[in-house]
A and B are shown apart, each in its own frame.
Chain A
Amino acid sequence: MQHESPIYYDIFGIPGFHVNLSNIIMLTVAALIVFCIGFFSARNLKMKPSGMQNAFEWIIDFIKNTISSTMDWKTGERFFGLGITIFLLIFVSNMLGIPFMIVNHETHELWWKSPTADPVITMTFAVMVIVLTHFYGIKMKGIKEYGKDYLRPVPFLLPLNIIEEFANTLTLGMRLFGNLYAKEILLTLLTGIGGASILGAAGAGIPMIAWQGFSIFIGAIQAFIFLMLTMVYLSHKVLDEH
């Protein structure tokens, strides 16, 4: 089963400015869902929380704890918004591809999927996070200290330190992409088997359920890992390690 992406070339007449419409739609849907979760949680705020507010407060505490585990809360407070947005957006994106999948059979274009199963999206987030770590590193420690960090712990590790930055970016994005892409592939295969014959449907039913359950687990874990690594990289750049 080979799925194509609905790519539209040269948007707005700008050469090389291509757009994967599926990614755009799915990302918008994910962002809308995240916003709705947040908005409806915060609609009826009470001192004695109930229902959605409780759930969202749990999420806030969870993000807080994750940040606190990598740096002190006074430093980490400014990254809270980044953390909660990244976590919720990636988590919801991961979940989107699990229940179903929409494919245009004539053109084999894949419309409904996890936007995080596309390397462009994940690498965008990864690069954005790494750029932010550099930005905050320079902002909070000064350009001199920031530069000196490349010569630590010993100067001859400079090349390794530079490579590390690229490696971090690549692994951060590719880990998320790889996991989610594998999830989508396996779901597609199982759907293919299940849709092929009655016997296939009988055989694929249980693995399908199992894999969907496992996908939820993968999605949650990967969102958490992305959040955790974001905070770890930030704390590396932001904190004095002496």
Chain B
Amino acid sequence: MPEVITWGDVVFSIVTFIILLLLLRRFAWGPIMNVMKEREEHISSEIENAEKHRKDAEKYVEEQRLEVERAKEEAQTIIENAKKTSEKQGEDIINQSRAEAERLKESAQADIAREKEQAIAELREEVGSLSVMIASKIIEKELDEKEQQQLIEDYVKEAGGRL
């Protein structure tokens, strides 16, 4: 224990304390606290970024989901349309072919009828002239012109009725 108060120590310790405080502020806790603050800001900004990215991602996922749904619907309508078109086309083809067949049949019938008429007419003429020739040869002498004509017409009619 000192017998006197050492005022020199008092002054020295206060000066040392102040110098140490200034040096520590300049070299130790000043820069370190700056870094700590920087880090705090960095972390908070990173957290904000992450939050934003998460929200963006959610938004994108939702968009993609809607997109997929829309694509599905579109595909469905396309398939349905294709089905409808094909059905209609099939029906059309059937109808067309049916009509074509009808037409062909009709024309064929008309052809047949016409051919028949022609044949009959030709035949009638042929028969007429032939009969006239035959008759004239057979009954040249016995029959007069008028009776002869009458007879020919009768025969021709008979033949026509038979045909």
Contacts and interface: CB of A to CB of B under 8 A. Distances in A.
A31 B36 CA distance: 24
Contacts, number: 117
Interface in B1-27: 1-2, 4-10, 12-14, 16-17, 19-21, 23-25, 27
B50 interface: no
Contacts of A9: 4
Contacts of A115: 13
B155 interface: no
B32 A85 contact: no
Nearest to B8: A19
Contacts of A45: 31-32, 35
Interface in A118-138: 118-121, 124-125, 128
A165 B38 CA distance: 41
Interface of B: 1-2, 4-10, 12-14, 16-17, 19-21, 23-25, 27-33, 35-36, 38-39, 42
A124 B9 contact: yes
A17 B27 CA distance: 33
Nearest to A34: B20
Contact of B12 (A24, A35, A41): A24
Given A5-B2, A60-B32, A81-B29, A125 B17 contact: yes
A125 B13 contact: yes
A56 B9 contact: no
Contacts of B42: 47
Contact of B32 (A18, A57, A124): A57
Contacts of A119: 1
Interface in A36-67: 37-39, 41-42, 45-47, 49, 53, 56-57, 60
B10 A120 contact: yes
B24 A84 contact: yes
A42 B9 contact: no
B27 A35 contact: yes
